[in-house]
Structure 1
Amino acid sequence: MAALAVAIVAVSTSAILIRFSNAPSGPMAFWRVTLTLLLLAPLSLRSGAEFQKFDRRDLLSALLAGLALAAHFATWFESVDKTTVAASVTLVTTQPAFVAVGAYFLFGESLSRRSLAGIGVALAGSAVMSLDGLLGGTTAPEPVLGNLLALAGAVLAGLYVLAGRSVRQRVNLVPYVTVVYVVCAGGLLAYSLALGDPVLAYPPREWLLFLGMAIGPGLLGHTVVNWALAHVESSVVSVSFVGEPVGSTVLALVILGEVPGALTLAGGAIVIGGIYLTARGRR
């Protein structure tokens, strides 16, 4: 539980670090994933024999998961620059709702009344948050587009979770994330090169931010969350992620001086309630 608390604080810094960086979203996400891979390299080398547990189906699933994660990073990093931190982080955290829907259609998992209610509440909250952009209640440059990109990031994060769920039942954490991160980094590199964004030409300040993203949200955040899943009920882990938008909003207020609009705050509270209901309604 202590590790989980540290992880939620760590992932809450992600949007702040993105805002501090002047790099395009593609290279920024590429270096976050690549540096996380380098930090995990000693563990990956020690797990050499575990890679043999991958069969063809597992490799295809890991490939899909890595590409979905790359697309998630690309859309969400772009979202942070276009809408408020509060809106972007809250909307991307609606991932459990899309996982629940995807698990119903792909795996035949039943949806409890609580989960259905939670999905409906989360979507209603998302609509309320988008009204802030439509009515001019925020100073964000492109709030509507930013909110849509954050929702797209949530859908892609849900696809990443669903693609890797069966693999994780047979393959340990480090080999799995190593393969997924390699595919993800490759996808982000191709995306950056296709847009003509520079990959290497950055000042020392940017490299420190890239390293901070890898150590904080990458290593201490999502990797620790995956480790915690072996020791804490998955429903507890899912619900704990509602702390991320709260933490990010507070950090944005204190560090960036960014005050979210009234509808963003109201809609965000509704979304968090919906995420809580969805997560508690699923095993």
Structure 2
Amino acid sequence: MVALAFAVFAASTSAVLVRWSAAPSSVAAFYRVLFTTALVAPVALVRNRADFSRLSRRDLAAAVVAGVALAIHFAAWFESLNHTSVAASVTIVQSQPIVVALAAGLVLGERITRETVAGIAVAVVGAAAMSLGDAGEAPLSDATLYGNALALLGAVTVAGYVLAGRSIRQRVSLFPYVTVVYAACALTLGALVAAQGHDYVAYPAREWLLFLGMAVGPGVFGHTVVNWTLKHLESVVVSVAWLGEPVGATLLAVVLLAEVPDAVTVAGGAVVLAGIAVTTLERERRDGSGT
């Protein structure tokens, strides 16, 4: 749980780093994942070289699918912001714990109690309040519906990424798993950058430092630590804890971007934390009682 809290904070730095970057969003996402892969792959080759040969074809294929799902999440979510309001996009993407909760019971056999469902509902309501704090409504046009659909795709794919990690990490060591996932994600995003016609290298030194920061903070200490926790925590708990990311991002924005949130955003953050607490305390109760 301590590692998960640290990972959520590290992931919270992503919004500030992306805001500072002037590069196209797909390029920033590509280099974030590529540099993260470059940082974790040597560790995997030194510590877990033999584990790669023991990867079954099924687990290898599943890890690749998880990486592609993560790439689709990044691509769909960022693109959705070009077609719909920030409020709609963020609210829809943050509905992913509902997808995880429903799928975890069907696919992974995890028991979802009423208390867990209540915690998820509270956290999602809080996340919606945060995203609606300072936003107006976009007109309901075909473009808006398209943007909302992309955001929903982002929610579903990141839920698939969490569920795949929860399943595979029971059998596969951390670094071989994330190396395969990040490599597949980077290759997918790299193909997207090429398809969009963006330049790969024509960026100033400041951008390269930001790309590296995204890899070290949100990448290594964020997503990689989250993948480590998936061996020890249920996917629903990990997924709901991710809703703490906008809380951390809001606090960092106050300090680093001088963006002071309004009362609705602050209240929504408190509700998110309450939902996380309900879900995690319920897990601890069930683990303690052996049920």
For the superposition of Structure 1 and Structure 2, which TM-score range results when normalised by the shorter chain? 0.7 to 0.9
TM-score (norm. length: structure 1) = 0.80
Q: Which amino acid aligns with 1:133?
A: A
Q: Which residue of 1 aligns with 2:7?
A: 7
What's the CA shift for 1:40? 1.5
Q: Distance in 2 between matches of 1:255 and 1:131?
A: 20
Q: Which amino acid aligns with 2:154?
A: G
Aligned residues of 1:134 and 1:144 also touching (Cα < 8 A): no
Q: Distance in 1 between matches of 2:266 and 2:61?
A: 40
Q: Distance in 1 between matches of 2:206 and 2:3?
A: 29
Q: Which residue of 1 aligns with 2:188?
A: 187
2:136 to 104, 127, 134: 134
Answer with 233-242 or 253-262: which moved more.
233-242
Q: Distance in 1 between matches of 2:93 and 2:251?
A: 17
Aligned residues of 1:90 and 1:245 also touching (Cα < 8 A): no
What's the CA shift for 1:228? 5.0
Taking a change above 3 Å as real, the CA distance of residues 70 and 113 of structure 1, as seen in their structure-2 partners, is: same
Aligned residues of 2:80 and 2:151 also touching (Cα < 8 A): yes
Is it true that 1:176 corresponds to 2:180 in the alignment? no
Count of residues in correspondence between the two structures: 276
Q: Which amino acid aligns with 1:41?
A: A
The gaps in structure 1 that reach 5 residues or longer are 137-142
1:231-246 correspondence to structure 2 within 5 Å: 241=242, 243-246=244-247
Q: Which residue of 2 aligns with 1:160?
A: 161
TM-superposition CA deviations, 1:86-111 (whole Å, max 9, x none): 99878756543331121123334332
The gaps in structure 2 that reach 5 residues or longer are 139-143, 287-291
1:1-283 correspondence to structure 2 within 5 Å: 4=4, 6-46=6-46, 47-77=48-78, 95-128=96-129, 129-130=131-132, 132-134=134-136, 152-227=153-228, 241=242, 243-282=244-283
Taking a change above 3 Å as real, the CA distance of residues 225 and 120 of structure 1, as seen in their structure-2 partners, is: closer
Q: Which residue of 1 aligns with 2:289?
A: none
Identity rate of aligned residues, in percent? 55
Aligned residues of 2:162 and 2:239 also touching (Cα < 8 A): no
TM-score (norm. length: structure 2) = 0.78
Aligned residues of 2:95 and 2:155 also touching (Cα < 8 A): yes
Q: Distance in 2 between matches of 1:151 and 1:274?
A: 21
TM-superposition CA deviations, 1:151-189 (whole Å, max 9, x none): 653432211011232221111111111111111001111
What's the CA shift for 1:23? 0.8
Taking a change above 3 Å as real, the CA distance of residues 39 and 131 of structure 1, as seen in their structure-2 partners, is: closer
Give the root-mean-square deviation of aligned CA atoms.
3.5
Aligned residues of 1:18 and 1:80 also touching (Cα < 8 A): no
Q: Which residue of 2 aligns with 1:139?
A: none
Taking a change above 3 Å as real, the CA distance of residues 71 and 135 of structure 1, as seen in their structure-2 partners, is: closer
